[in-house]
Amino acid sequence: MKINQAFTILQRAGGVRAARILTQNNQKMSRWRVLFYAFCLRRGVPVAKIIHQKWFYGLSFYTNRRTLDPRPDTETLVAAVIADYGASAPNILDLGTGTGCVLISLVKNIPGATGTGVDISHGAVRVARRNAKNLIAGRVRILWRSYRRINMPGAPYDVIVSNPPYIARGDARVDAGARHDPSRALYAGMDGYAEYSIIAKNAGAWLRAGGRIYLEIGEGMAARISDIFQASGWNFVRSESDLAGICRVLVFEK
């Protein structure tokens, strides 16, 4: 099928942006591929889940149904760490690493940095290991492990980062594309704060003296998360907003 014909079909199924991504770098596409793509788009499958690729912080990450697709808002988390540790070669722990996009982007952009990513999902661990091998082999290790356990291999770390699940079950603001993400990576109890309580309780034992933790948060969650961490002995350092002006990152030190 000629590419202009494919573009027209895909545009009708999923819009101009999706059609551009799915047809780029192609001179022609098979009819069956175009029909498959169109079927997926009509079902609300995100483009990244169709092509198994999502760009994040200038890097191309493999993704699939076992992981959240990297999102632009999360780049705020990466930028905050680089601003503080860009010249200090930190050892970084990533809690709930998913695709590994946060950890790998940090190690890729901070000379001498190393890191460990942990995730409770076997599928996510496989995805993150694939991305680490392709993008930053030798400086990142990915482990199947829960941050609910007190012992953490490689501790103490200089920096901890996390983009944990923070959506309350039943939240009507979740978009249709999220139906194709793993629910374990999205939802955190009935109010969205459950994972932050666990991290606040356990993560202090994994940091060096003076180390910091950087957390992605949902809109409107800053005050309560600050209370949770300060009640566990953490000191608030600052917050960072994303490009939309929403408070997206909280920074604490122990």
CA distance 72 to 49: 16
- Does this model's pTM top 0.85? My answer is yes
Tell me, yes or no, whether 110 and 205 share the same domain: yes
Tell me, yes or no, whether 33 and 130 share the same domain: no
The b/e string for 175-212 (b: 16+ C-beta within 10 A; e otherwise) is: eeebebbbebbbbbeeebbbbbbbbbbbbbebbeeebb
For the stretch 73-90, pLDDT in tens is: 999 999 999 999 998 999
Q: Which domain holds residue 36?
A: 3-43
The verdict on residue 49 lying in a domain is no
Per-residue pLDDT at 137: 84
Are residues 114 and 137 in contact, defined by beta-carbon separation less than 8 angstroms? Answer: no
Return the number of other C-beta atoms located less than 10 Å from residue 241's C-beta.
11
Tell me, yes or no, whether 79 and 164 share the same domain: yes
Tell me, yes or no, whether 246 and 207 share the same domain: yes
Q: What is the pLDDT along the chain (254 residues), one digit of tens a residue?
A: 888 888 888 888 888 988 888 888 777 888 888 888 888 888 888 899 899 999 999 999 999 989 989 999 999 999 999 999 998 999 999 999 999 999 999 999 999 999 999 999 999 999 999 999 999 988 999 999 999 988 999 999 999 999 998 877 766 566 666 677 777 777 667 788 999 999 999 999 999 999 999 999 999 999 999 999 999 999 999 999 999 999 999 999 98
DSSP E strands in the chain: the ranges are 54-56, 59-61, 91-95, 114-119, 140-144, 157-162, 207-216, 235-241, 247-253
Tell me, yes or no, whether 227 and 128 share the same domain: yes
The verdict on residue 113 lying in a domain is yes
The verdict on residue 48 lying in a domain is no
Tell me, yes or no, whether 152 and 227 share the same domain: yes
- The tally of domains found in the chain comes to 2
Per-residue pLDDT at 83: 96
DSSP E strands in 42-95: the ranges are 54-56, 59-61, 91-95
* Residues 98, 154, 120: CA angle, nearest 5 degrees: 30
For the stretch 5-36, pLDDT in tens is: 888 888 888 889 888 888 887 778 888 888 88
Cα 20 to its chain centre, rounded Å, is: 24
Q: What is the CATH number of the domain that holds 171?
A: 3.40.50.150
